[in-house]
Structure 1
Amino acid sequence: MSDPIQVNPPRLNLANLPTPLQALDRLQQQRPGPRIWLKRDDLTGCALSGNKIRKLEFNLAQAREEGCDTVISCGGLQSNHCRATALLCAQLGLHCHLILRGEPPAVGDGNLLLDQLAGAEISVYPPQQYQRELDQLLLHWQSHYQAQGRRAFVIPTGASDAIGVWGYFKASEELAADCQRSGISPRHIICATGSGGTQAGLSAGAHCYIPGAQVWGVNVCDDEAWFLNKVGHDLQDWQQRYHLDIDVGALSVKVIDGYVGPGYAKADEEVYRCIADLAACEGVVLDPVYTGKAFHAMLCERERGRFGDDGDIVFVHTGGIFGLFPHRQHFDFLNG
């Protein structure tokens, strides 16, 4: 095992940790193969549930360290990250401004409703403008607050940057302890990857704490090449920002491509049925945007032999339950 990195960046204790590691025994009986365990990061909080809180513990600590009173972040209308950011800012007494991509609905639902309840200021931009002008929009609003005598801290999509890498680097140490208690040495660790930060942290963390395991990201948007570049870029920034003695170029970063389906935040019937089947079998709820796609991909690739015939697989359940409700119409097969 590599020596753990001796750096302690600013951190706030915001998540309910450690989260459980759970074996899916009933699923195993139905679908034999390498044993699947869930790292239950959907249980990091209640309204604050999901993986983003681990990263925000570091991003928001840095915002405080820099004396900021405002946080600006961005994502889709149903962004789990934006919902977590809004609620945590309310908890910490910080003003939150969300830059969202999409067409505003007449009535808020899911994560968007929680953003509104948390008192976040929300600016919604059409998808094409958002994609084209996001960097300028973030700078515009940061300058807007500066002109008011305020100091705004910008957190990128998904808190996936050099600071956010710490979230799942530290989570890997927790996971290693979970595995030791459970008497397992996982060969594969799988997560959904949408902005790359969770996968980056796990890739570096597994290298240090669970060296026998390969981390796989299941991309829920874009493609394999995009994520190899994004994860590599985040890891390089992390290494340089904190002057770390680690060769991030030597880390094994792998992506399971081919399961994006109709597009980001869209799913096909196989994914919706996978979500329903796991809920009925294990009482675990996935979402159609991230975890449902990734779990479905893992099951398909497990049956095809990608992970071998034995050993243990850890699936990191990154949450997303509130994103399920705007997809309610796709579960009509449950009614008949």
Structure 2
Amino acid sequence: MLTCSRYFYSVTHFLSPPITTTTTTAVNHLFSRPKPLLLSPPRSYSHSHTMNQDNNKTNTHHQLHSSIEFLTQKPYSPPLWATGLGPVPSHTVSLGHLPTPIHRWNLPNLPRNTEVYLKRDDLSGMQLSGNKVRKLEFLMADALAQGADCVVTVGGIQSNHCRATAVAAKYLNLDCYLILRTSKVLADQDPGLTGNLLVERLVGAHVQLISKEEYGQIGSVALANALKEKLIKEGRKPYVIPVGGSNSLGTWGYIEAVREIEQQVEASGGRLKFDDIVVACGSGGTVAGLSLGSQLGALKAKVHAYAVCDDPDYFYDFVQGLTDGLNAGVNSRDIADVLNAKGLGYAMNTSEELKFVKEIAAATGVVLDPVYSGKAAYRMMEDMAENPAKWEGRKVLFIHTGGLLGLYDKVDQLGSLVGNWSRMDVNESVPRKDGIGKMF
């Protein structure tokens, strides 16, 4: 492991034999030719043993300092290359377990000499896991600065953002009001305790349901403002957080994430330089921050954003609005490549997509969520199979944005894919000793 003064870098290298043919044209066939995955030999490092000892001590100090600062508010200083943006946030609240690790992703059947790495933002916490945490560090600091006693936000019935917001609010002694979009049939019923809903309801969030039809007619902004006005009349001090935490302030979360990636690349001793960054796109703030940071900073990686709702034109316009709000002076179409990964629609999956999620987990141990990273990875691998020359020889960083709890909403569809169980057959020759074990 290499260390630096602030961030640690951990990369587990998995190597599979290079692919010499690219006849595969469909994601369904990606796993048809299993190959052995070999742990690469250890690399030799140029750092002296003494230097590594000193760096380890420094890194341990910073990790301990970071853990002590958890849930505290602190002044914010942007990366040097982002000082021209404005307005610059004055403070953040420490909510995430950062930095999140980067490691080699042993995906089968990649194009020749292509390497894919994972940035594990799904490991940014437990109840707060995922990319939303980074945005909330800035948004919650603003809520506290404005003297709010509660927050209001909007999302789908299994919104990862809403779950993270509900937990962050309670951590900071704020009430949370959630407007959750669901079907017309279910809008008048108890929403249940599946996935993200369980966490939201356990932490005491005030859940209000709205049908997709009403949501489409009124819109998220008007709905949130209506609830805000109602709370103000009741004597509350609400702070509204937009869908996904995606406004110009929330964008700073992934501007800051780019600085974190830069530190990790630097700590690798020059062995890593990413050509591409791949990420799911659901509300636009993550893509805006990554694209802008990569453009302004040292990464200079091409950002590919796979849209899981709406369409690319919508997100180009939305990201443009976010960067304009930071006075960035960039064209969104120049800094991001937005592609369609919506499929059947937001939070809806084909059997092929769910099969892909299951097979990726079985092949690599990495569990993708079905709404965001699952769809983005599915389309990325589909594109690599259909257009291998586009990806050959490139180093790709895939941002895992979390969302594990969303899988619980798909258990009925996943059931037929995970039938690998059986009753244990214990032969009569196995000795019996009654009453042994803590169950008795």
TM over 0.5: yes
Give the paired residue count: 326
Moved more, 146-155 or 298-307: 298-307
Which amino acid in the other structure matches residue 301 of structure 2? A
SS in 2 for 1:226: helix
Higher helix share: 1
Give deviations 1:128-184, integer Å, cap 9, x for gaps. Answer: 111222333212211112112221110000000011000000001101122233321
Q: Which blocks of at least 5 consecutive residues in structure 2 are unaligned? A: 1-78, 421-440
Aligned to 1:99: 179
Match of residue 289, structure 1, among 371, 395, 404: 371
Match of residue 187, structure 1, among 264, 271, 275: 275
Match of residue 261, structure 2, among 175, 178, 183: 175
Give deviations 1:15-73, integer Å, cap 9, x for gaps. Answer: 00000001013x25x44541000000000001211000000000110011111111000
Per the TM alignment, residue 114 of structure 1 is displaced from its structure 2 partner at its CA by 1.1
Counterparts of 1:1-336 in structure 2, within 5 Å, are 4-6=81-83, 7-25=88-106, 27-28=107-108, 30-33=109-112, 34-102=114-182, 103-104=186-187, 106=190, 107-133=192-218, 134-182=220-268, 183-239=271-327, 246-249=328-331, 251-257=334-340, 259-303=341-385, 304-305=387-388, 307-331=390-414, 332-335=416-419
Against the structure 1 CA distance between its residues 306 and 80, is the aligned structure 2 distance closer, same or farther, given a 3 Å change threshold?
Answer: farther
Per the TM alignment, residue 3 of structure 1 is displaced from its structure 2 partner at its CA by 5.1
Q: Which has the higher contact order (CA 8 A, sep 6+)?
A: 1
Distance in 2 separating the partners of 1:301 and 1:63: 41
Root-mean-square deviation (CA, aligned residues, Å) is 1.7
Q: Is the 8 A contact 2:323 2:329 kept in 1?
A: no
Which amino acid in the other structure matches residue 13 of structure 1? S
The structure number with the bigger radius of gyration is: 2
Q: Which blocks of at least 5 consecutive residues in structure 1 are unaligned? A: 240-245
TM-score by length of 1: 0.92
Which amino acid in the other structure matches residue 291 of structure 1? S
Distance in 1 separating the partners of 2:389 and 2:128: 34
SS in 1 for 2:198: helix
Per the TM alignment, residue 255 of structure 1 is displaced from its structure 2 partner at its CA by 0.6
Which amino acid in the other structure matches residue 23 of structure 1? R
Q: Is the 8 A contact 2:221 2:242 kept in 1?
A: no
